[in-house]
Structure 1
Amino acid sequence: MTVREFRNRDLPELLGLLKTQDERASQRSMTPEGRSIEDLALELGELSPYTELVPLVLEQHGQLAAYVALCNYDGEAFLEGPLMRPELGAADVAPLLERAVSEAKVRGYSFVEAFVDEENVRAQDALAASAFEPFRTTYIYEFRRGSDLTPLSPSRFRFEQGEVDVGVYRDLYRETSDNWATRLAWRDEDLRERFSDPQVSLTLVYQDDRPVGHLELERLPDEGYAEVAYFGVLPAARGQKLGRELLLRGLHEAFAAPDVELVLARAHDDERAASVTLESVGFLLSHGVVAYTLELK
Structure 2
Amino acid sequence: MIRPMQATDLPDLLALLHWMDAAPEREVLAPDARDLAELRLECEDTPALVDEGPDGVRAYCSLAPFRDGLALEGPLSERGADLRRLLRRAAEQAEGLPVYAFCARDNVEVRAALEEAGFMPMHTTDFYSVPLGALKGSRGADPVPPGYTVTHTLGLTDYRALYRAAEDAWSARLEWEPEVYDAHFSRDDVRLIALQDPSGRAVAFAELEFNPAEARADLTHLAVHPAERGQRLGRALLLLAAAEARRFPELRTLRVRAHDHMKAARALYARAGLTHCRAVVTYLRDGEEEA
TM-score past 0.5 threshold:
yes
Write the letter of the residue equivalent to 2:33.
G
Instruction: Give the aligned residue type for 2:65.
Output: N
Counterpart contact for 2:242–2:254, Cα < 8 Å: yes
Structure 1, residues 180-214: CA drift from partner, whole Å, max 9, x if none? 44333233444334333343332221333343211
Report matched runs for 1:133-152 at 5 Å. 133-148=120-135, 150-152=138-140
Instruction: Structure 1: give runs of 5+ residues left out of the alignment.
Output: 46-51
Deviation at 1:111, TM superposition (A): 0.9
Superposition map of 1:46-61 within 5 A: 52-61=45-54
- Pick one of 202, 217, 220 that aligns with 2:192: 202
Residue 242 of structure 2 aligns with which residue?
251
Whether contact under 8 Å (1:228, 1:250) holds in the other structure is: yes
How far apart, CA to CA, are the structure 2 residues paired with 1:194 and 1:69?
Answer: 26
Aligned match of 1:21: 20
Match of 1:128 among 101, 115, 130: 115
| Alpha-carbon distance change, 199 to 63 in structure 1, aligned in 2, over 3 angstroms | closer
CA deviations over 1:235-292 (Å, ceiling 9, x no partner): 2322232211110110110121233233332111111211121232232221111111
The 1:195/1:33 distance shift into structure 2, 3 A limit, reads closer
The answer for unaligned runs of 5 or more in structure 2 is none
Q: Which of 210, 213, 223 is residue 219 of structure 1 equivalent to?
A: 210
CA gap of 1:178–1:220, structure 2 versus 1, over 3 A, is same
Instruction: Output one character per residue of 1:126-167: Cα deviation in whole Å (capped at 9) or x when no partner.
Output: 011111111111112223344345214134242322442333
Matched, 1:288 2:287: no
Residue in 2 that maps onto 1:33: 32
Taking a change above 3 Å as real, the CA distance of residues 39 and 262 of structure 1, as seen in their structure-2 partners, is farther
Shift of 1:54: 1.3
Which residue does 2:63 correspond to in 1?
A: 70
Q: State which of 243, 258, 275 in structure 2 corresponds to 1:267.
A: 258
**TM-aligned CA deviation for residue 17 of structure 1:** 2.5
- Separation in structure 1 between the aligned mates of residue 39 and residue 180 of structure 2, nearest angstrom: 30
What letter corresponds to residue 19 of structure 2 in structure 1?
A: T
Identity of aligned residues (%): 32
**Normalised TM-score (structure 2):** 0.86
Alignment partners' CA distance in 2, 1:192 and 1:36: 29
Q: 1:192 to 1:15 in 2, by over 3 A?
A: closer
Cα 1:159/1:285, change in 2 over 3 Å:
farther
2-structure distance, mates of 1:38, 1:24: 24
The aligned length equals 284
CA distance in 2, matches of 1:34, 1:195: 23
Q: What is the CA deviation profile of residues 91-120 of structure 1, one whole-angstrom value per residue up to 9, with x for unaligned ones?
A: x22221111111221xxx521111110000
**What do you get for the CA RMSD once the two structures are aligned?**
2.5
CA contact (8 A) 2:119 2:285 kept: yes
Determine which of 87, 101, 125 is the counterpart of 1:114.
Answer: 101
Question: Aligned pair 1:170/2:160, yes or no?
Answer: yes
Q: Which residue of 2 aligns with 1:187?
A: 177
CA distance in 2, matches of 1:188, 1:40: 30
Structure 2 contact 132–242 (Cα < 8 Å) conserved:
no
CA contact (8 A) 2:135 2:274 kept: no
Cα distance in 2 between the residues matched to 1:37 and 1:196:
29
TM-score normalised to structure 1 length: 0.84
Partners in 2 of 1:239 and 1:14 — Cα distance?
48
Aligned equivalents of 1:236, 1:296: Cα separation in 2: 35
**Relative to structure 2, which stretch is displaced further, 56-65 or 213-222?**
213-222
Residues 172 and 74 (structure 1), Cα distance of their counterparts in 2 relative to 1, 3 Å cut: closer
